[in-house]
Amino acid sequence: KYYPPDFDPAKIPKLKLPKDRQYVVRLMAPFNMRCKTCGEYIYKGKKFNARKETVQNEAYLGLPIFRFYIKCTRCLAEITFKTDPENTDYTMEHGATRNFQAEKLLEEEEKRMQKEREEEELNNPMKVLENRTKDSKLEMEVLENLQELKELNQRQANVDFEAMLKQYKELEEEQRRKEQE
């Protein structure tokens, strides 16, 4: 390209883009969902051309939160979901319902049980002692099982398969000799 000698790049006007500008991106559905309008199932991994925008006035520890707009494959209804960096997941906004997630429910139940146990231990010192003894018994059982497995593996490792095969061949040869005699 030719640049004339009097060219000044500072005189070129800057492009003023809006903050809430939407980009078209290609993405996969991050979870299984079902369209509220037609009932179509959209499975995790289905590819979509989506519009992506940065959510205004929302951030998590300085990370921007993005909103995605996709269309249902059957009825073309709009479905939106956002990133959820706090839980390293996505949250459904509208247009569809998220299908059942066993793992998430299990984690929530585990957290709830842990919280209940901690509250109980704060109020009752005897419960702390009971939980400690229960934990130590469980740990002892696990260690015993581990020791049994180690012993079993050592017994299995001491078996010399070559010697066994050699002994078996010798027995076969001896039986053949006896049969021939």
Output the CA–CA distances (angstroms, integers) from residue 163 to 49, 166, 169, in the order listed.
65, 5, 10
pLDDT interval class at 142 (50, 70, 90):
very high
CB 65 within 8 A of CB 83: yes
Q: Render pLDDT for 28-37 as a digit per residue (tens, 0 to 9).
A: 999 999 999 9
Classify the C-alpha dihedral 36-38-40-42 as positive or negative: negative
Q: Nearest 5°: phi and psi at 123?
A: -85, -25
pTM: 0.56
Contacts of residue 34, defined as CB under 8 A and 6 or more positions apart, other chains included, come to 40, 41, 42, 96, 97, 99
12-20, Cβ contacts within 8 angstroms, sequence gap of 24 or more: 19/54, 19/56, 20/53, 20/54, 20/56
pLDDT interval class at 52 (50, 70, 90):
very high
